[in-house]
Structure formats: C-alpha cells, structure tokens
Amino acid sequence: MLSAVIIARNEAANIERAIRSVHGVVTEVVVVDSGSTDGTQALAKDLGARVLETEWKGYGPTKNWGAAQATNPWILSLDADEELSEHLRTTIGRLSLDKLVVSSAAPFAPRQVYGFKRLTKFCGKWIHNGAWSRDVVWRIYHRDHTQWSTRAVHETLEIGEETQELLLAGELKHYSFPSLSHYQKKHDSYAQLGAEALFEQGKRATSEKKYLAPLWRAFKGYVLQGGWRDGAAGWQIAKLDYQHVKDKYRRLSALTEAAKK
C-alpha cells in the first residue's frame, strides 16, 4: 500500500488539485499542516485527507515527520502546489499497489526509490526548455530505508549507494509561480536560506561566485540548455535565475561580514 504525504501551509489555492490527483493511486492521503489560516485544513478534510498539525520544522524534517505518521511504509511525497499528470497516475497505478510490501517479490523493493520528471508552470506557461525543464524529483520511497535531508532549502532524499533509482514514465506538474510577485516571495526566502546553508558549510562568496556564477547560470539555462525556445518566459527565467544566484552570494557575503564583528 502507498500513502501520499503532502506538506502545506496556506495552500487553499492548490491543495484540492494535489489531493484529487492522488485519489485512486494511494490508499491514504496525509496532509501535514503547519499553521494554515486560509481554510486549507477544512478543504483537505472534505476531500478525505487525514490532516495532522505540527509546527514548521523545516522542509526535510517536516516531510520526515509526516512520513512517520503514515499508515503505510511506502510514501509518495508531494508539495501542495504539485499534481500527478494522468500519464503518471496511470504509471503508478500499474505497479500493483496491493503487492506493495517489503519483500523481494514486490514491484517496489525496499532499497529502491522512484522518481519522475517535473514540469513547472511559470506565469501561466509550461516551461519545456532550459534549466527548469531538467528537473527530476525522487518521491516514492520506503521510509525505513530512505529519509529527507535536513538542509534548509532544496531538500532531497538521502539515497545510499545500495539504493536503486528508477525513473517512471509521466510528469509531475508543478504550479509553482502563478505570478512574478509570487516568485519574488519565494525568491527572497530561498536566497536567504541558500546563503545560510552555504555559510554553515563553510563556503564563502568569492569574487568568482559573486560575479561569474550568476552570469553562468543565466547563460547556461538560456543558451546551452535552450531556454530561448520558451520565448519571453525563457528570457524572464534567465534574468530571474541571474538575480537569484547574485542575491544568494550577496547575502552569503553579508553573513560572512557579520560573523567577523
């Protein structure tokens, strides 16, 4: 059996879409809510989800906490602004969920994790090229053998050398940035968290990182990875990626200077 675990906070605009996309694919939906005030919890309950409340522990730790509360050991992890495509629903549905147990005969063995390509929607347009189009996420795993990292931002599953990674057909739809203002809110948070993570790792904002890294990020995505094929949206993303990297290292430099005082 498979449990969907969805983390959420003030996701009333997205939570229904996410939950409906896993109906018929999983046997349980767990929504881990960290202080929503916009009706997210009520919407999730009306759709049959089991809603659990907890303080925000960080992305990885909150996902690990939610997985530990699930009835089934096999977890499908989603963010509230994501949705399984019909193709991906079909792929997962063909994996004989009734046999999803810990045994060598199961289609999901304990030392395996399953992933899929993620397609992002930016200001009303699906992005098919550039750096954002190369996003592969690993989201189906056995909680006894795999957990989420505790890094402050861009958490990932900790996959050991003995774990097999299998890519499933179909796409995960990501409704991440409905508007530029929404992007900016996330950007500010992610740039700060990214800088703090680098600082804790002992990294410093060298001149190369501050001036060349932003340019390389934009050039690589727009030119080398074909972001230009997405037209105006591709150009906008290149500029935003440039600004994101620039801000991250600017904030890292500020943290370094503050630590010297």
Domain boundaries in the chain? 2-177, 180-260
What pLDDT digit, counting tens, does each position of 4-58 carry?
A: 999 999 999 999 999 999 999 999 999 999 999 999 999 999 999 999 999 999 9
| Helical pair 231-260 and 180-200, crossing angle rounded to 10 deg | 40
Residue 108 has what pLDDT?
61
Using the predicted structure, report yes or no on whether residue 261 has a pLDDT greater than 80.
no
Q: What is the pLDDT of residue 230?
A: 96
> Would the pLDDT of 248 be above 90?
yes
Q: Does the structural domain 2-177 have CATH classification 3.90.1150.10?
A: no
Task: Give the C-alpha separation, 30 to 47, whole Å.
Answer: 11
Task: State residue 109's pLDDT score.
Answer: 64
Give the model confidence (pLDDT) of 99-117 as tens digits: 444 444 455 666 889 999 9
Q: Whole-model pTM?
A: 0.87
The answer to whether the CB of 18 falls within 8 A of the CB of 83 is yes
Q: Please give the pLDDT value at position 142.
A: 92
157-196, pLDDT tens digit by residue? 998 888 889 999 999 999 988 888 888 888 888 888 888 8
For residue 101, the model assigns a pLDDT of 44
Read off the amino acid at residue 48: G
How does pLDDT run across 184-229, given as a tens digit for each residue? 888 888 888 888 888 888 899 898 899 999 999 999 999 999 999 9
Sign of CA dihedral 145, 160, 137, 115: negative
Dihedral, CA atoms, 122, 125, 126, 129, nearest 10 degrees? Answer: -80
C-alpha to C-alpha distance for 113 and 145, rounded to whole angstroms? 10
H/E stretch holding 116 reads: strand 112-122
Considering the chain, what is the average pLDDT of its residues?
A: 90
Give percent above pLDDT 70 in the chain.
Answer: 94
Give residue-wise pLDDT tens across range 73-102.
999 999 999 999 999 999 998 875 444 444
pLDDT tens digits, residue range 142-158?
A: 999 999 998 877 789 99
